[in-house]
Amino acid sequence: MTRRIRKAVFPVAGLGTRFLPATKTVPKEMLPIVDRPLIQYAVDEAIEAGCDTLVFVTNRYKHSVADYFDKAYELEDKLERAGKAEQLEMIRNPLPSHVRTVFVTQPEALGLGHAVLCARPVVGDEPFAVMLPDDLIWNAGPGALAQMADHAEKTGAGVIAVQDVPRERTSSYGIVATDGFQDRHGAIRGMVEKPNPEDAPSTLGVVGRYVLQPGIFDALESTGRGSGGEIQLTDAIASMIADGSRHDAYRFQGTRFDCGTHIGLIEATIRFALDHEKLSEPARASMQKALDELAVAEHD
């Protein structure tokens, strides 16, 4: 057994260009699924996995991420006076008391790998998680990160979440090559960022959950700019693997919504609305109505 992760890094300093114009003023991580921003789902998953230190790598425009986890005195006061106990409860304690937040600035958007490197002074010399909040993963049992943290604790390996993706979409993912799987995990032989379908070594795409060993920081220091001119986390992991460091691909249990794309955000909204205690019925009725109206319009 090795150390359990305690720290989770949330790189949220990207520009979010796929959601412009909304992301001109609202960070992608603050886009809501029903009534909670994407970042909240990822933070809950990290805390459930045992993390007590949440490290947000932000840029100077993203005050709203910090504000979200801060106390909102004026709003609390207003809700209290108005007797809105339910809403007050929702915002009063955004995090459990044992959890702390740390904010680190990425001065320039030089890529995911560079963003992770910015967290080095806070993470130090211990295993840690990296979570990309625009990958929303829902599971009835333990969350994806908890599953991966268990595996990392048992093996001391770096653990990378993967799922099968359509071959025509490999150029949107980091793609891993393994020698096969035992249960949910398989040792990674190689890793390449966003390959064209004809060059992809497999169709196993990396999803935004990682458990990394601290050696990744030295690897990132010596990683040059890669795909898209950015410092890629995938390249640093690939160089560690080439040097003999064990990294396992992990097929987590759960449903992943790629909320970094329009359709993924829509899918997540539909699913969470249909599962929602109060919204399920009206959401179903409204979807049926929209489909019926469309069918009539198409028929006319």
Residues at the site binding ligand UTP, with contacts judged by CB under 6 A: 11-18, 28, 57, 106, 109-112, 114-115, 132, 134, 260
Which CB, 57 or 273, lies closer to ligand UTP? 57
Which CB, 170 or 283, lies closer to ligand UTP? 170
Minimum gap (Å) between residue 110 Cβ and ligand UTP: 5
Among all residues, whose Cβ is closest to ligand UTP? 14
Minimum gap (Å) between residue 19 Cβ and ligand UTP: 6
Residue type (1 letter), 199: D
Minimum gap (Å) between residue 132 Cβ and ligand UTP: 4
Which CB, 72 or 122, lies closer to ligand UTP? 122
Minimum gap (Å) between residue 182 Cβ and ligand UTP: 29
Which CB, 155 or 227, lies closer to ligand UTP? 227
Minimum gap (Å) between residue 8 Cβ and ligand UTP: 13
Minimum gap (Å) between residue 274 Cβ and ligand UTP: 26
Which CB, 102 or 110, lies closer to ligand UTP? 110
Which CB, 104 or 273, lies closer to ligand UTP? 104
